[in-house]
Amino acid sequence: MKLILVPGQRSSWSARAQALLAASAFALLAAGPAAANEAAAPFKADPAKGQQLAVACAACHAQDGSRGIPANPILQGQHAEYLVKQLTEFKAGKRKNAVMSGMAASIASEEDMKHIAAFYAGKTAKPGFAKNKDTVALGERIYRGGIASKQVPACAGCHSPNGAGIPAQYPRIGGQHSDYAEAQLLAFRSGARANSAQMMGIAAKLNDAEIKAVADYVAGLH
């Protein structure tokens, strides 16, 4: 089938196409290079901005997130993705803590959470130590080999042999305060902390002595 053009139609279409091209070019120029660069550039967290935003955090976590009060977690060297996840869940009420829920609610955006997380993640974690020599052997057995009779997997499988964890999946727990680690395992077991079905299932199978032993053991990992 042939397309039959009436006289003058070709020139009319050509003029229309040229007009559309000219309008598109004008729109691109009007947008300017700044808009193009903004669309192309990925978000990059700024640790310096994070440090400014984290001033209020120092009261509980020390200025650089290092070894502050044993009841509070060490944030120094923690994976940024994990920190953002926890802040998001505190803000949403998925993880319960009166102080942290209020703190997270005051953070304006996810971008600000990422800035704060980048600040703490960029620090080198300081080594910790186990406090109870009588339970180190039990803690090591659970951490490295689990408890087969209770179907408890080895902690090292997710948190790595030295406690460094896996970014975006499992947190760094090596060198963490044993008091804090124990409190979180107990909270998972009781259901008070319910933002990890996996950890709730594992903690449910551990008794008090086993929780205390593995919490103390991870404090000395580095």
User: What is the overall mean pLDDT for the chain?
Assistant: 87
Which residues are within 8 A (CB) of 179 and not within 5 positions of it... i.e. 6 or more apart?
Answer: 70, 71, 215
Claim: this prediction has a pTM higher than 0.85: no
| CA–centroid distance for 141 within its chain | 28
Instruction: Report CA-CA distances (Å) from 78 to 36, 113, 116, 142, 166.
Output: 34, 14, 11, 23, 10
Give the pLDDT score at 21: 47
For the domain covering 136-219, report its CATH number.
1.10.760.10
Residue closest to 117 by CA, chosen among 58, 32, 181, 53: 53
- Let me know: does 207 contact 135? Beta carbons within 8 Å: no
* Residue 171 to residue 165: CA distance in whole angstroms: 5
* Residue 177 to residue 31: CA distance in whole angstroms: 52
Query: In this predicted model, what pLDDT tens digit does every residue of 129-143 receive, in sequence order?
Result: 999 999 999 999 999
* Residue 181 to residue 219: CA distance in whole angstroms: 8
Task: Indicate the class that CATH gives domain 47-121.
Answer: mainly alpha
User: Of 102 and 17, which is predicted with more confidence?
Assistant: 102
Give the pLDDT score at 112: 98
Give the pLDDT score at 38: 54
Two structure tokens written together for 83: 């920190």
Query: In this predicted model, what pLDDT tens digit does every residue of 34-73 receive, in sequence order?
Result: 554 555 679 999 999 999 999 999 999 998 999 889 999 9
Which stretch of 18-32, 97-111, 193-207 has the lowest confidence by average pLDDT? 18-32
Which stretch of 61-70, 87-96, 189-198 has the lowest confidence by average pLDDT? 61-70
**Topology agreement, domain 47-121 and domain 136-219:** yes
Determine the average pLDDT of the residues in 170-192. 97
Query: In this predicted model, what pLDDT tens digit does every residue of 201-213 receive, in sequence order?
Result: 999 999 999 999 9
Residue 76 has pLDDT above 50, yes or no: yes
Domain ranges of the chain: 47-121, 136-219
